[in-house]
Structures are given as structure tokens and as C-alpha cells.
Amino acid sequence: MKIAVCVKHAVDETELKVDAGGNPQLKGAATRMSTFDKNAVEEALRLKAAHQGEVVIVTVGTPEAKKTMKEALAMGADRGVLVSADPMAIDTRRTAELLAAALKKGGPYDVVLCSEGSSDMYSGLVPPMVGELLDLPYVGYARRIEVSGQAAKVERALEDSVEVVEAPTPLVASVVSEINEPRYPTLIQIMQAGRKPVEELSAEALIPGAGQSVSLVRGMKAQAMARKRVVFEGPPEETAKKLLEALASEGVLPR
Amino acid sequence: MATYSAEQRRLMETFYPDHHEEYSEVLSSLGTFMEKELLPISPKIDTGEVKIAGPRKALLKQGMCQIAFPEEYGGLGLPFSVYAVAIEMLGTAEASTCLSVEIHNAVAEGLNRFATDAQKSRYLPGLLTGDSLASFTLTEPASGSDAGTMATTAEKKGGEYSINGSKMFITNAGEADLYLVFAKTKKGPSCFIVESPTPGLSFGGDLKKLGMRGSRTSEVVFSDCRIPEGNLVGEEGKGADYAKEILHGARIIVAALNVGIAQIAYEKSLAYARQRKAFGKTISEFQLIREKIADMKTDISAGRMLYLYASKVKESGADYSSEASQAKVFSTEMSLRVCDSAIQIHGGYGYTTDELHRHWRDARLLTIGEGTSEVLRLLIARRELARSQ
Amino acid sequence: MSVSVWAFSESPSVANEVASSASSIARAAGGSFTVIGLDDSGPLLAGEEKVVLKSDVPLSTSPEAAAGALAKFAREENPDVVLVGSTRDGKEIASRLAVKLGRPCVSEVFGASLGNGTLQGKRNVFAGKLVAEVAVPLPCVVALKVGTTSALPASEAAAREKAMGSLPSKTKLLEMREKQKGTVDLKGAKLIVAAGRGVKKKEDLAIVSELAAALGGAVGCSRPLSADMGWLPEEHHIGLTGVTVHPDLYIAVGISGQLQHVAGIKDSKVIAAVNTDKSAPMFEASDYGVVGDLYSVLPAMLRQIKARRQ
């Protein structure tokens, strides 16, 4: 079975600093694999273990993305494909087109997995776009995937319901973070990850004019979080009293 | 808090300009594991609610004790200081587990240095993956710093040795699969591998300690405990030399452990000082608190640099016993200063919160264990006076 | 040349919310809007101009088929802006439409308006740490964040029906299980008390429920309690990948305040927190905080609430 996982190398939002004017300091910010991508990689590794095969990591990224690539390879993936482009400088459709082109070039894949959304932008658009572009069955928000023979049975987690859907392989799916607990790579795996092959593709060679797509994002600024941050300390009877009084004065306690 | 810090990264860059990226990847990954899997349960390990066996095994499986060992036995072949920094992070995340792991690792190092190839092939791989746990069995009820006066004996009887006597204050006793035991033969103190279970090998109850409560510490009793003669490590009569050599390395590690304990106590103090208000301000604005913060920070930086320097001297192959002793004496005493300041800064909460004062309780062991500060000061002074002649 | 806007969601209640946004956006730009529905949803939809797309099988059970129907109709009518509710299925439909029609697409947008041949709006990024301004050139497909506007009531106007012929779906729906809707609809709740990892045992959730009940509020939780430990069903999970809420009062009990959780409560009027850890990020995100053990503070609060009522 040949499994592809689309991942994104993203700025670590927990480490992102914002200056006094509310402007984010993106240049030089700490970066890492998008949080939920690990679940997609883990699911791919489980499929590989059950069905024999290989797991290929595909990403659209700058050279910095090699770090995320290495992390996924350390978890147990076999090789990687890096499409050189900055996902923050192009729009989601162009990112999906580049991924689809890379998948077509390296395919055919039996299963293509993505996360439910990247930890930086959380659009959730790229996976279904990839499915649409490749003209493959697409199942979103999978919390359980079972493949047998040429078909897959997928449980989808929606807002108000759970759907069980059947789809033939090859297929594209996005997974929710509840699907599994990603494994930690062991130190030996980390040290050996550097030896696994990573193919680099130019965006321009895949799609002429690829670099000309422009991001739809005009600017980003910190939310004005003007919370009062009043903190009460002391014995519970006292602090409980102070809290209730404060809430009453805000008019948010029921009569 | 346990993750690989910017300071540790900078030090590795300084010491290893060509290879630091690889070492940082390894340390960063271990740090993340420790922060997510060990740090949150650490308070419960202190109270006894959670046992260290499971977390310790998971950590060893990650590769904690493979770092500085040769690849042929399942090691990563990385420099000793990478292991030392990993220990500092573990000291921050979970001190009891750290103590248990460093003792285990010290035995593996001893075997790596002094055992035969056959013995190494038999025992090292299991120790490195954490499939088996080891215990360093030297100290006795009546012999500590003066290990030469040990009373445990090993008598040759046919193709076996019979070990008789008892050991005390042994870490991992009762849990370990392999004991590195020092006992006297006719030729003097010698070193043996004793596997558990073996008839004649028994253990006392877990001793109630001031700190490091997650780590099991007890008596080990040998009563005509028979082991094959092939379990002798190295040569009879050389046991004292082997023990000394193993302990020199362990002292660097203990120094790192205590720097780690000091680090977490310090970080908690910083956070508290920023929040706690008195006289209408946060206490971080008071000069006497700032003095403490500055001293704690400087102390920790110095401790870190000392153990890393001692590691580098060890790696070079030169005699590092003085550097190791300096690092241990300084860092163990320093960590007590820092943890004490941490209690002071936290005020009433410092005295009444187990989660905070346990750092001092954990740190308090190591001016005693693995070479008392007194004995090590003598070693340092002897070296200095020998040199100036 | 007036701008034409479509409002759509595969869920009629969300469709009416999108209709509300479409109404203000279109009116402000001097344009018109049409509400698009599927199958037999006509009577449930708001708006005066309604078109319901039909096929030989229900379109609402397949986002792929629904997108196919919408694309087919869009090629006939050429709406400048297609607004879709940013639900999970909605985002799939929007994505497919964007590819089929060759249009740009952005999701989770709020505060949208038209101007300079673009649709401008905002979206939360970096787990809610930042707000991004987006500008999408027309014609476009935009998925609007759910829960940011009140839904228009269903209108009595009749819906025009359009038969779309047979539409392919590569996947087959085998089963659909509605989630047990407990007594909880966090999205509309005015007062929420939420539990986090500070609660040590599942049984201890009782004290949190008690406080919620005493205040007439709903119970929520941070992700670990639903996803990891299964103490509460998923619909109680508040956060980036869970429910976004906007109550008047949100009380976080034993919640550390990770970004992923705070992202779901930003629009609360007043936020309060109880936590033993003075340095917990939750306090930075709160108006009022109590540093203390929930096991002592919550009973104290309950005692005082009861005393007040006497």
C-alpha cells in the first residue's frame, strides 16, 4: 500500500511573539510541524503496519520545512517530497494544486491523508481541494479509517453527528486529532531520519506560473485582549466571596 | 519547563561547533517527551500516587540510556555531554526518575569500560533499551566513603562465587534485574554481576527518605548467594579502581541532575515573583527579591558550565576526577541554595506546598550520595597540592 | 451593475445565519441575495429569494453531490459571491466549488463586507492569537464563520425548485448517527462553567455541574476531558477544534488556558478562572481569577450563592 501524508511546516503559535503595537514577529519565529499533522502521519504509519507498504511525506514549503520532513521521517515514514514554495505567500488553491501535482507525479497512492487543518491558518480547505483536483473520493474529518481490499470504511466526526461512509481506494481523507495518539520517535530514529531520501521539486516546474499566485491575507495583528486580569488570592471563603461580588458588579450573575 | 532551553542550545553550539545540530535535535526531542510525559506526573511520584517504573521504562525505550554508548551495543555513539544535558532536563522534569536512571546508566558504563566482550554482548543491549534495570551495589551499613573497609565477601567455591554480607542505601534495589556488586575476595575488593532473582539474594523494605521518594532505596542482603565465576567483572582485587572510575563519571551526572532541580525551582520562583503582590506591587519589583533572582540565575549558569566542562575533559581522555568533583560539590550545594531561596520567595506557600519544597528535599540527597562533599573536597585539594610540586 | 450574493449551508439553521450576513453585505453594496437550499428545505429557509436544488437522491447527504449541484447552477447564474456556512461539510462544499468554478476561496471569515471588487473580512489565525484581514477578489466563494450573527427567521416565501439531474458521488453514506444532544447547546449558552484537567476524577465533575446548575448555566470542558479521557461527550469540548462560545459569563475551572482552548472563548463578555497554578495562562485571558484549589473554592462559592438566595 502506498500512503502519502500532506504536512505543513508552520510557525509555532505558542512561541509567536507580538510587539507592543500588536504586530506579530513572524520573521525568525520558532517553527515546527503543524500540530495536527502528527495525527495524519501516525495514521499513515498504522495503515503501513497493517497493510505493508510505504509512507511518503509531501509538503509545500521553504527549505526550513526540511525540519518537519525530518520529524515525520523520524516517526517512521519512508521518504519525502518537498515542493519548494512558501505556503504563506500563495493562496490555498495554489497550495492544493501544487500538492495535487506532486501527488500525481509520485503516484498512484492508495491513500492520501491530511490533518483537519493547519495549526497556523486552520482553513481546512486544502484536503477537499486536493481530492477535487485529483478527482478522487474525499472523506473529511475521519476519526476512524479501515481499509480492506479496494475499499475504505470511514467514520466522520461532524458537528452534530457521526457518519459512516464507504469509499473505494484510492482516496483522500482528512483526519481529526482524536483519531490517534501520535508516537514519539526514538532517539535512534531521529538520528537515522537524516539518511532517508527527500526529493525536491520546483513549484515552477510542476505548475508554470506557480509563483505568481498571491496570498489573500492582507495583514495580521494581535487580538485586542483587554481582559481585566484581576486575581484574588487567599483562603477559599474569601476569594469565593470576592469573585462572586466582582461578577455581580459586572451584571453577569443571575438574579 | 523541561524542554531543551536556549541556554543549553547555545552551550552545545559553543562546545561542538560542527555537530551541535544533530545533538540539539536529539535533546530537543527528549525534552519534549520529558515535558509532556514526566513533568505533569512528577508531583504524584513524590506523593507515591504514581510509580516510576512505567515512566522510567518509556523513557529508556526512547533512548535515554543509549546516548553515549557505542553503536555496536545499541548506543547512539554521541558525546558524554549530550547525555549530561539530557540528565539536566530529566532532573528538571522528574528528579526521582532521574536518580534511578543515572544509577542504572552508571552500571552500564562500568560494564562498557571493564567487562569482557562476551559479558557486554550479553548484558549491555538489554540495559540500553531498558528491558533490564541495573543497580550499583557498593555502599554498606558500616562502610560508605571508606569503601575499602567493606565487609561483604565473595568466596570462590568450585566454579562459583558465594557472596555474603549486606549493602545499604542501594538505589533500584528490589526492582533491578542486574546488580553490580562489590565484594572482597582474597585479593581485595572485586566487582561482580549478580542477576535477580538468584537464591540467597534478598532486599529490605523501601527506606523512607526526605526526598527522591519515587526512587526505591533499600538494603540488599546476600546469604550464600551463588553466582557463576564468569560473573566476575575484570580482575579480582581491582574492584576499588573500577568503582572509583565509575563514580567519577557519575559525579558529573549528579552535578547535572542538581542543576536541573535548581532550574525548575528557579523557574517557579520567577513565575511566582511576577504574580504575587505585596504593598501594591508584584514582589518581582523589590530589590531583595531581585537579588535572589540574580544569584539563583548566576549559580545555575555556573553549575551548568562546570558540568559541561568536566564532560569535555572526560571526552578528551584526560584525568577528569578533579573537574568532576568540583562540578558535583558546587552544583549539589548550589542547588540547595537555589531551592532554599525558592522556598523563601514563595513565602508561606513555599513552606506548605509539597510541590515546591520537594525540590529542596530532592536536592538534599546529593551532597551525601555518590561521594560526600567532604571527601570530594579532599580529592580536589590533594590534586592541587600534588600539581604544584 | 449590482452585485449578486448567494447564501448557502447544507444545514438550514446555519443557512439562515448566512442569509443574515448575506442580507447586510448585499444591502450595503446595493446588491441582492438569494438563499440556496437543498432537497426539501424550502420552508426552513430565510430570505425572499429562495431556490432549492433537487436531484434524484438527497443532495444534503453528500457534500460532493451538493457542490456539483451548486456549481452547475452557479455556471448558469454567475453569482459574484457565494457565501457558504463554514461548517465541516460547508468547507468541503466551498473548496469543491472554488476548484470547479476556478474561484479564490477563504474560510472561517467574519465581519465581511464588499468593496473595491473584493470581499473583505477577518479571520482568526494562529489559534486565535492573531486576527488576519483578508481580501478576496470577486467572483469568489467564501465560507462564513458560524455563530457570529443571529439567524434570520424562516420566511414564508415560496422557494423556486430546480432539478439538477443526476449528480455523482464517489462515496456512499452507510450510516448517520445523530449525536445525543444532551441538555447542552453551548453555542447559545449565556453562562458556562467549564472543567479542565484540574478536576482529578470523573466523579468530581459533579461539583462543576453543581455550580453550573446553581448559576443556571451549561457545562463545558477543555479538550483533554472529552477527547482524551472521554469524561464528557465531544459537544462539551470548547476550543479551536471544538465549540466556539460567546456567553455573558464563562468560568474556567482547573483549566490551564492553552491557546487552543482560549480560542473558543474569546467572545465571552466576562471570563473568570479558578486554578491552583498562579502562572497558568488562563489568568492572562481572564477578567477575574482565583488562585486556589477548585475543591475548596467551588464549595465555598456554592455555599455563598445559596446564602444569598435566602
Q: Which domains does chain C have, with CATH numbers?
A: 4-163 (3.40.50.620), 186-309 (3.40.50.1220)
Question: What cell was used for C71?
Answer: 456549481
Q: Which of A184, A191, A233 sits opposite B26 (nearest CB)?
A: A191
Q: Is residue A31 in a domain?
A: yes
Please give the Cα distance from B160 to B232 (Å, whole number): 10
pLDDT tens-digit map of C276-291: 988 899 998 999 999 9
Q: State the angle between helix axes of B80-93 and B95-114 in degrees (0 to 180), rounded to the nearest 10.
A: 160
Residue A66, in any domain of the structure:
yes
Which of C8, C7, C10 lies closest to C173 in space, CA to CA? C10
Residue A150 covered by a domain: yes
**Nearest CA distance, B50 vs chain C (angstrom):** 14
Q: Report the pLDDT value the prediction gives residue A103, as an integer from 0 to 100.
A: 98
Which structural domain, as residue segments, surrounds residue A173?
2-212
Helices assigned H by DSSP within C167-290: 205-215, 223, 259-262, 281-284
* DSSP annotation of C11: S
Give the cell for residue C185: 447547546
Confidence class for position B281, pLDDT limits 50, 70, 90: confident
CA-based nearest residue in chain B for residue C197: B40
Distance CA B299, CA C84 (A): 59
Q: What secondary structure, in 3-state letters, does chain B show?
A: CCCCCHHHHHHHHHHCCCCHHHHHHHHHHHHHHHHHHHHHHHHHHHHCCCCCHHHHHHHHHHCCCCCCCCHHHCCCCCCHHHHHHHHHHHHHHCHHHHHHHHHHHHHHHHHHHHCCHHHHHHHHHHHHHCCCCEEEECCECCECCCHHHCCCEEEEECCEEEEEEEEEEEECCCCCCEEEEEEEECCEEEEEEEECCCCCEEECCCCCCCCCCCCCEEEEEEEEEEEEHHHEECCCCCHHHHHHHHHHHHHHHHHHHHHHHHHHHHHHHHHHHHHCEECCEEHHHCHHHHHHHHHHHHHHHHHHHHHHHHHHHHHHCCCCHHHHHHHHHHHHHHHHHHHHHHHHHHHHHHHHCHHHHHHHHHHHHHHCCCCCHHHHHHHHHHHHHHHCC
| B183 has pLDDT over 70 | yes
Spell B219-239 as b/e; 16+ CB within 10 A means b. bbbbeebbbeeebbbbebebb
B272, B346 in Cβ contact below 8 A? yes
Contact A139, A173 (CB under 8 A): yes
Residue A136 covered by a domain: yes
Per the CB < 8 A criterion, the answer to whether C236 and C186 are in contact is yes
The pTM of the full predicted model, rounded to 2 decimals, is: 0.84
Q: What is the pLDDT along chain C (310 residues), one digit of tens a residue?
A: 689 999 999 999 899 999 999 999 999 999 999 999 999 998 999 988 999 999 998 999 899 999 999 999 999 999 999 999 999 999 999 999 999 999 999 999 999 999 888 999 999 999 888 999 999 999 999 999 987 787 889 999 999 999 999 998 999 999 999 877 665 678 878 899 999 999 999 999 999 999 999 999 999 999 999 988 889 988 899 998 788 888 999 999 999 998 889 988 988 989 999 999 888 999 989 999 999 999 999 999 999 999 887 7
A-B contacts at Cβ under 8 angstroms: 32
Residue B309 has pLDDT above 60, yes or no: yes
Distance from CA of A190 to the nearest CA of B (A): 7
CA distance C186 to C188: 5
| All chains having 3 or more CB pairs closer than 8 angstroms to chain B | A, C
Q: Which neighbouring-strand residues pair with A138?
A: A172
Q: Supply the pLDDT for residue C189.
A: 87
Q: How many CB atoms lie within 10 A of CB B267?
A: 18
Contacts of B124 (CB under 8 A, 6+ apart): B69, B73, B74, B108, B111, B112
Put simply, the chain A residues between 141 and 160 with a CB less than 8 A from any chain C CB are: 141, 153, 157-160
C131 Cβ neighbours under 8 A, 6+ residues apart = A220, A221, A222, A223, C122, C123, C124, C125
**Would you call A167 and C304 a contact, using CB atoms and an 8 Å cutoff?**
no
Ranked by mean pLDDT, the top range of A84-88, B21-25, B98-102, C53-57 is B98-102
Determine the pLDDT at residue C1.
61
Q: Give the angle subtended at the CA of B94 by the CAs of B90 and B100, to the nearest 5°.
A: 80
Using CB atoms, pick whichever of A18, A140, A165 lies closest to residue C92: A140
On the question of a cis peptide bond just before residue B125, with omega within 30 degrees of 0, the verdict is no
Strand locations in chain C (E): 4-8, 32-38, 50-54, 81-85, 105-115, 118-125, 130-137, 140-144, 160-163, 172-178, 191-195, 218-221, 249-253, 270-275, 288-291
Q: Which residues of B touch A186 (CB under 8 A)?
A: 61-63
Measured in whole angstroms, the distance separating CA C265 from the mean position of its chain's CA atoms is 12
User: Is the per-residue pLDDT at B1 higher than 80?
Assistant: no
Question: Residue B61: its chain A contacts at CB < 8 A?
Answer: 186
CATH number of the domain enclosing A6: 3.40.50.620
Closest-CA residue of B relative to A190 is B26
Query: Residue C226: which region, alpha, beta or left (left: phi > 0; alpha: psi -120 to 50)?
Result: alpha
- Alpha-carbon span A86 to A101, nearest angstrom: 16
Against chain A, the chains showing at least 3 CB pairs within 8 Å are B, C
Q: In this complex, is the C-beta atom of A227 within 8 Å of any C-beta atom belonging to chain C?
A: yes
Residue whose C-alpha is closest to residue C275's, from C299, C259, C301, C251 = C251
Residues in chain A predicted with pLDDT less than 50, given as ranges, are none
Contact A168 C170 (CB under 8 A): yes
**Residues β-bridged to residue C106:** C142
Q: Which of B94, B109, B140, B370 is catalytic?
A: B370
Element (H, E) at C27: helix C12-28
Do the chains contact at B62 and A231, CB–CB below 8 Å? no
Q: Collect all residues with Cβ–Cβ distance below 8 Å to B349 and sequence separation of at least 6.
A: B272, B356
Give the Å distances, CA to CA, from C31 to B23, B259, C28, C51, C118: 62, 68, 8, 17, 14
Q: Which of B76, B78, B274 to mutate to test the interface with A (most CBs of A within 10 A)?
A: B76
| pLDDT, mean of residues B49-60 | 97
Q: How far is CA B227 from the centre of its chain?
A: 28
Size of the A and C interface in Cβ pairs below 8 Å: 242
Interchain CB contact of A136 with C (< 8 Å): yes
B142–C contact, CB cutoff 8 A: no
- Three-state DSSP class for residue C210: helix
Is residue B315 a contact partner of residue B322, using CB atoms and an 8 Å limit? no
- Chain A residue numbers with beta carbons less than 8 Å from the beta carbon of B275 are 231
Look at B66 and A70 and tell me if their CB atoms are within 8 Å. Answer: no
Question: Which of B25, B73, B131 is the best residue to mutate to test the A interface, defined by the most A CB atoms within 10 Å of its own CB?
Answer: B25
**Is the residue at A148 inside a domain?**
yes
Residue C32 neighbours by CB under 8 Å, 6+ apart: C2, C3, C4, C5, C26, C49
Count of domains forming chain A: 1
**Residue B146, pLDDT score:** 86
Match 503496519 to its residue by C-alpha cell. A49
How far apart, in Å, are the Cα atoms of C8 and each of A68, C53, C88, C94? Answer: 37, 11, 14, 10
- Domains identified in chain B and CATH numbers: 6-132 (1.10.540.10), 135-237 (2.40.110.10), 240-387 (1.20.140.10)
The pLDDT value recorded for residue C35 is 96
pLDDT of amino acid C183:
56
In this complex, the residue of B26, B64, B276 whose CB is nearest that of residue A190 is B26
At B385, list the grid cell.
Answer: 597540592
Whether the CB of C131 is below 8 Å from some CB of chain A: the reply is yes
Q: Which pLDDT band holds residue B389 (cuts at 50, 70, 90)?
A: low
Residue C243 per-residue DSSP state:
B
In a domain, A91, yes or no: yes
Cβ–Cβ under 8 Å, residues C268 and C249: yes
Q: What value does the mean pLDDT take over residues B123-146? A: 95
In chain A, residues with a C-beta closer than 8 Å to the C-beta of B30 are 187
Instruction: Classify residue A110: in a domain, yes or no.
Output: yes
Structure-block grid coordinates of residue B26: 536529539
pLDDT of residue A22: 85
Contact: C279, B274; criterion CB under 8 Å: yes
| B272 in contact with chain C, both atoms CB, cutoff 8 A | yes
pLDDT at B276 over 90: no
Kindly determine whether residue A164 and residue C87, on different chains, have CB atoms separated by under 8 Å.
no
Distance in Å, alpha carbon of C181 to nearest chain B alpha carbon:
33
Query: Is B315 designated active site?
Result: no
* B202 contacts B219 by C-beta, under 8 angstroms: no
β-pairing, B134-137 with B178-185?
parallel
Query: Strand C118-125 vs strand C130-137: parallel, antiparallel, or unpaired?
Result: antiparallel
Task: Indicate the DSSP class of residue C59.
Answer: G
Range B37-63 average pLDDT: 95
Chain B contacts of C256, Cβ < 8 Å? Answer: none
- Return the pLDDT at C308: 81
